[in-house]
Amino acid sequence: MKSLIDRQLMRRLGIMLVSISLTLGVANVGLGGVSANAKDNTTSQSIETLKKSEKRWIQIDLTKQKLIAWEGNTPVYAIIISTGKKSTPTRVGTFKIQTKLKSTRMRGRDYDVPNVPYAMFYQGNYGIHGAYWHRRFGTPVSHGCVNVAPNHAKWLFDWASVGTAVFIHK
């Protein structure tokens, strides 16, 4: 499959395709091959299993405000995102896409947003979705969800399926 990684975006993120290192809790960019490690053994085993397969999975780095879509050990798409602000943080952990909706209404105590595009929920009301109401990607501004530009949300929606693993870390 042809890589859809935006090389200019990757440079802005400070990522070299030959060196992405993931540690749940701390993310580092180093030299060497692509690697993903985790502090807890279960997550580490899950990542290693996915890397040895051709399965699709999503990595979300809250500190760097980036999302990387993987196929096995190969990053295929990387984008800048907007996650939860300090008062409404995005949950850290290992999840799976549970529900996909092309369009939905999202309501909370202080918001009511119609026609939210390409929503993929991974835990209750927490999800990855398009955000047409702001352009502050790279800055935590959401109520806990992972906001992406609508065009990127469509790509992810078409690429991921129910059951796709999602690893969220700081």
Strands (E), the chain: 21-23, 26-28, 35-37, 56-61, 66-71, 74-80, 93-96, 99-108, 111-123, 126-130, 146-148, 165-169
d(CA 79, CA 48): 23
d(CA 153, CA 64): 18
Catalytic residue among 143, 145, 152, 169: 145
Catalytic residue among 129, 143, 152, 169: 129
Strand partners, 71: 56, 74
Is 152 one of the annotated active-site residues of the chain? no
Question: Computed over its alpha carbons, how large is the radius of gyration of the chain?
Answer: 15
Burial, 139: exposed, middle or buried (Cβ in 10 Å; 0-12, 13-18, 19+)?
Answer: middle
What residue spans of the chain are helical by DSSP H?
A: 7-13, 41-51, 150-159
Is 143 one of the annotated active-site residues of the chain? no
Q: Active-site residues: which are they?
A: 129, 145
